[in-house]
Protein backbone atom coordinates (compact mmCIF):
# COMPACT_ATOMS: atom_id res chain seq x y z
CA UNK A 1 0.00 0.00 0.00
CA UNK A 2 2.91 2.37 0.66
CA UNK A 3 4.10 2.01 -2.94
CA UNK A 4 0.58 2.57 -4.25
CA UNK A 5 0.39 5.77 -2.23
CA UNK A 6 3.66 7.05 -3.67
CA UNK A 7 2.50 6.14 -7.16
CA UNK A 8 -0.72 8.12 -6.69
CA UNK A 9 1.20 11.12 -5.42
CA UNK A 10 3.65 10.98 -8.32
CA UNK A 11 0.79 10.75 -10.82
CA UNK A 12 -0.96 13.73 -9.24
CA UNK A 13 2.26 15.71 -9.50
CA UNK A 14 2.66 14.71 -13.15
CA UNK A 15 -0.88 15.77 -14.00
CA UNK A 16 -0.27 19.19 -12.45
CA UNK A 17 3.29 19.83 -13.58
CA UNK A 18 4.22 17.61 -16.52
CA UNK A 19 1.60 17.78 -19.25
CA UNK A 20 3.33 16.40 -22.35
CA UNK A 21 2.48 16.18 -26.04
CA UNK A 22 5.24 13.60 -26.44
CA UNK A 23 3.35 10.33 -26.90
CA UNK A 24 6.54 8.35 -26.33
CA UNK A 25 7.24 9.90 -22.92
CA UNK A 26 3.86 10.65 -21.38
CA UNK A 27 2.36 9.43 -18.12
CA UNK A 28 1.18 6.22 -19.80
CA UNK A 29 4.81 5.45 -20.60
CA UNK A 30 5.79 5.97 -16.96
CA UNK A 31 3.01 3.62 -15.82
CA UNK A 32 4.04 0.90 -18.27
CA UNK A 33 7.71 1.13 -17.34
CA UNK A 34 6.80 0.82 -13.66
CA UNK A 35 4.50 -2.16 -14.36
CA UNK A 36 7.29 -3.91 -16.25
CA UNK A 37 9.91 -3.02 -13.64
CA UNK A 38 7.69 -4.41 -10.91
CA UNK A 39 7.59 -7.74 -12.74
CA UNK A 40 11.34 -7.76 -13.22
CA UNK A 41 11.92 -6.95 -9.54
CA UNK A 42 9.58 -9.66 -8.26
CA UNK A 43 11.40 -12.06 -5.96
CA UNK A 44 14.50 -9.85 -5.74
CA UNK A 45 15.86 -7.69 -2.93
CA UNK A 46 15.64 -4.52 -5.02
CA UNK A 47 14.32 -1.35 -3.38
CA UNK A 48 10.98 -0.92 -5.11
CA UNK A 49 10.50 2.64 -3.87
CA UNK A 50 13.70 3.62 -5.69
CA UNK A 51 12.52 1.77 -8.80
CA UNK A 52 9.06 3.33 -8.71
CA UNK A 53 10.49 6.84 -8.35
CA UNK A 54 13.00 6.35 -11.15
CA UNK A 55 10.32 4.90 -13.44
CA UNK A 56 8.07 7.91 -12.96
CA UNK A 57 10.76 10.58 -13.28
CA UNK A 58 13.34 9.07 -15.66
CA UNK A 59 12.05 11.15 -18.58
CA UNK A 60 11.16 14.31 -16.65
CA UNK A 61 13.74 15.85 -18.99
CA UNK A 62 13.69 14.22 -22.42
CA UNK A 63 15.41 16.09 -25.21
CA UNK A 64 14.29 15.30 -28.76
CA UNK A 65 16.01 12.45 -30.60
CA UNK A 66 17.65 14.97 -32.93
CA UNK A 67 18.81 17.35 -30.18
CA UNK A 68 22.61 17.75 -30.04
CA UNK A 69 22.59 17.25 -26.24
CA UNK A 70 20.30 14.23 -26.30
CA UNK A 71 22.95 12.15 -24.53
CA UNK A 72 22.73 14.46 -21.51
CA UNK A 73 18.98 14.06 -21.01
CA UNK A 74 19.20 11.42 -18.29
CA UNK A 75 21.69 13.43 -16.24
CA UNK A 76 19.42 16.47 -16.51
CA UNK A 77 16.44 14.31 -15.53
CA UNK A 78 18.27 12.99 -12.46
CA UNK A 79 19.17 16.51 -11.31
CA UNK A 80 15.62 17.77 -11.83
CA UNK A 81 14.15 14.75 -10.03
CA UNK A 82 16.19 15.42 -6.90
CA UNK A 83 15.04 19.03 -6.94
CA UNK A 84 11.41 17.89 -7.25
CA UNK A 85 11.77 15.40 -4.42
CA UNK A 86 13.33 17.99 -2.13
CA UNK A 87 10.78 20.70 -2.94
CA UNK A 88 7.53 18.78 -3.45
CA UNK A 89 8.05 15.49 -1.59
CA UNK A 90 9.93 16.46 1.58
CA UNK A 91 8.95 13.17 3.26
CA UNK A 92 10.74 11.14 0.59
CA UNK A 93 13.76 9.49 2.25
CA UNK A 94 16.85 11.56 1.46
CA UNK A 95 19.10 8.50 1.83
CA UNK A 96 17.49 7.12 -1.34
CA UNK A 97 18.43 10.16 -3.47
CA UNK A 98 21.72 8.72 -4.81
CA UNK A 99 20.08 5.42 -5.78
CA UNK A 100 17.21 7.20 -7.56
CA UNK A 101 19.60 9.54 -9.37
CA UNK A 102 21.81 6.67 -10.57
CA UNK A 103 18.84 4.62 -11.80
CA UNK A 104 17.64 7.61 -13.82
CA UNK A 105 21.07 8.49 -15.21
CA UNK A 106 21.81 4.90 -16.24
CA UNK A 107 18.50 4.17 -17.95
CA UNK A 108 19.43 6.03 -21.13
CA UNK A 109 20.82 4.17 -24.14
CA UNK A 110 22.47 7.29 -25.56
CA UNK A 111 24.10 8.29 -22.25
CA UNK A 112 26.12 5.07 -22.10
CA UNK A 113 26.26 5.08 -18.28
CA UNK A 114 26.72 1.56 -16.85
CA UNK A 115 23.98 0.44 -14.47
CA UNK A 116 25.76 -0.44 -11.24
CA UNK A 117 22.87 -1.19 -8.86
CA UNK A 118 20.14 -3.81 -9.15
CA UNK A 119 17.55 -1.03 -9.15
CA UNK A 120 19.28 0.74 -12.04
CA UNK A 121 19.50 -2.51 -14.02
CA UNK A 122 15.79 -3.17 -13.55
CA UNK A 123 14.77 0.37 -14.55
CA UNK A 124 17.07 0.24 -17.57
CA UNK A 125 15.61 -3.09 -18.72
CA UNK A 126 12.02 -1.96 -18.16
CA UNK A 127 12.53 1.23 -20.14
CA UNK A 128 14.26 -0.56 -23.01
CA UNK A 129 11.49 -3.14 -23.19
CA UNK A 130 9.17 -0.22 -24.01
CA UNK A 131 11.12 0.18 -27.25
CA UNK A 132 10.39 -3.39 -28.37
CA UNK A 133 7.23 -5.26 -29.36
CA UNK A 134 3.98 -3.67 -30.49
CA UNK A 135 4.29 -0.60 -28.26
CA UNK A 136 7.87 -0.05 -29.37
CA UNK A 137 6.79 -0.29 -32.99
CA UNK A 138 4.09 2.33 -32.45
CA UNK A 139 6.55 4.60 -30.63
CA UNK A 140 9.07 4.48 -33.48
CA UNK A 141 6.59 5.80 -36.00
CA UNK A 142 5.01 8.27 -33.57
CA UNK A 143 8.44 9.83 -33.04
CA UNK A 144 9.19 9.69 -36.76
CA UNK A 145 6.00 11.59 -37.49
CA UNK A 146 6.78 14.22 -34.86
CA UNK A 147 10.26 14.73 -36.34
CA UNK A 148 9.07 14.54 -39.96
CA UNK A 149 11.28 11.52 -40.64
CA UNK A 150 10.57 9.30 -43.66
CA UNK A 151 9.21 5.82 -42.91
CA UNK A 152 11.93 4.07 -44.94
CA UNK A 153 14.14 4.38 -48.00
CA UNK A 154 11.98 2.87 -50.72
CA UNK A 155 15.04 2.08 -52.88
CA UNK A 156 16.97 0.37 -50.09
CA UNK A 157 14.68 -0.14 -47.05
CA UNK A 158 17.09 -2.38 -45.10
CA UNK A 159 20.29 -0.44 -45.87
CA UNK A 160 21.90 -3.17 -47.94
CA UNK A 161 23.83 -0.63 -50.05
CA UNK A 162 24.07 2.40 -47.75
CA UNK A 163 24.89 3.35 -44.17
CA UNK A 164 22.11 3.19 -41.63
CA UNK A 165 20.64 6.62 -40.84
CA UNK A 166 17.74 6.62 -38.39
CA UNK A 167 17.64 10.42 -38.48
CA UNK A 168 16.36 10.13 -42.07
CA UNK A 169 14.50 6.82 -42.04
CA UNK A 170 12.41 5.41 -39.19
CA UNK A 171 12.89 1.79 -40.25
CA UNK A 172 16.67 2.20 -39.90
CA UNK A 173 16.12 2.63 -36.16
CA UNK A 174 15.29 -1.06 -35.91
CA UNK A 175 18.81 -2.06 -36.95
CA UNK A 176 20.72 0.88 -35.49
CA UNK A 177 19.26 0.44 -32.01
CA UNK A 178 16.18 -1.67 -31.33
CA UNK A 179 17.42 -5.08 -32.46
CA UNK A 180 20.58 -4.53 -30.42
CA UNK A 181 18.65 -4.05 -27.18
CA UNK A 182 18.25 -7.73 -26.20
CA UNK A 183 22.04 -7.99 -25.88
CA UNK A 184 22.11 -5.03 -23.48
CA UNK A 185 19.58 -6.42 -21.03
CA UNK A 186 20.83 -6.64 -17.46
CA UNK A 187 18.33 -9.13 -15.99
CA UNK A 188 17.45 -12.66 -17.05
CA UNK A 189 13.74 -11.87 -17.19
CA UNK A 190 14.40 -8.73 -19.19
CA UNK A 191 16.55 -10.57 -21.70
CA UNK A 192 13.89 -13.21 -22.32
CA UNK A 193 11.19 -10.59 -22.84
CA UNK A 194 13.45 -8.54 -25.11
CA UNK A 195 14.25 -11.52 -27.34
CA UNK A 196 10.56 -12.31 -27.66
CA UNK A 197 9.56 -8.75 -28.51
CA UNK A 198 12.47 -8.18 -30.87
CA UNK A 199 11.21 -11.10 -32.93
CA UNK A 200 7.94 -9.19 -33.38
CA UNK A 201 9.90 -6.33 -34.94
CA UNK A 202 11.73 -8.70 -37.26
CA UNK A 203 8.39 -10.16 -38.38
CA UNK A 204 7.21 -6.61 -39.09
CA UNK A 205 10.29 -5.98 -41.21
CA UNK A 206 9.68 -9.24 -43.04
CA UNK A 207 6.10 -8.17 -43.73
CA UNK A 208 7.30 -4.86 -45.18
CA UNK A 209 9.80 -6.69 -47.38
CA UNK A 210 7.09 -9.02 -48.70
CA UNK A 211 4.67 -6.17 -49.40
CA UNK A 212 7.36 -4.25 -51.30
CA UNK A 213 7.71 -7.32 -53.50
CA UNK A 214 3.94 -7.40 -54.10
CA UNK A 215 3.41 -10.41 -51.83
CA UNK A 216 1.15 -9.09 -49.02
CA UNK A 217 0.01 -12.51 -47.78
CA UNK A 218 3.34 -13.69 -46.41
CA UNK A 219 6.50 -12.78 -44.52
CA UNK A 220 9.82 -12.54 -46.33
CA UNK A 221 11.79 -15.50 -44.99
CA UNK A 222 15.10 -14.00 -46.14
CA UNK A 223 14.61 -11.07 -43.75
CA UNK A 224 13.78 -13.42 -40.87
CA UNK A 225 16.87 -15.55 -41.56
CA UNK A 226 19.00 -12.41 -41.79
CA UNK A 227 18.16 -11.30 -38.28
CA UNK A 228 17.41 -14.70 -36.74
CA UNK A 229 19.77 -17.08 -38.56
Alpha carbon separation from 30 to 10, 41, 108, 122, 149 (Å, rounded) = 10, 16, 14, 14, 25
* pLDDT at residue 109 in the model: 67
Q: Do domains 3-116 and 133-227 have the same CATH topology?
A: yes
Domain boundaries, the chain: 3-116, 133-227
Tens digit of pLDDT for each residue in 50-69? Answer: 999 999 998 887 766 656 66
Residues 6+ apart with CB under 8 A from 191: 182, 185
Q: Higher pLDDT residue, 71 or 189?
A: 189
- Per-residue DSSP letter, 169: B
Average model confidence (pLDDT) across the chain: 87
* pLDDT at residue 10 in the model: 93
* pLDDT at residue 23 in the model: 58
Tens digit of pLDDT for each residue in 152-206? Answer: 998 899 999 999 998 899 999 999 889 999 999 999 999 999 999 999 999 999 9
Count CB-CB contacts under 10 A for residue 172: 22
On the CB side of 152, how many CA atoms lie within 13 Å of its CA? 17
CATH of 133-227, one of 3.90.79.10, 1.10.3210.50, 2.40.10.10, 1.20.59.20: 1.10.3210.50
Fold that domain 3-116 belongs to in CATH: Hypothetical protein af1432 (1.10.3210)
pLDDT at 18 over 80: no
* pLDDT at residue 96 in the model: 94
Q: Higher pLDDT residue, 164 or 229?
A: 164
DSSP letters for 202-218: HHHHHHHHHHHTT-TTS
Residues in the chain, total: 229
Amino acid sequence: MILDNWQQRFEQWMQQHHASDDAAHDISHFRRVWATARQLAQGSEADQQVILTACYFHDIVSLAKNHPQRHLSSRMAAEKTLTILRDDFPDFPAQAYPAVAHAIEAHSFSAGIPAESLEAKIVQDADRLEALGAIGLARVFAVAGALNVALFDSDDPFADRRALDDKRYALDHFQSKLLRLPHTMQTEKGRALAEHNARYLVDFMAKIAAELKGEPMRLDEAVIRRFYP
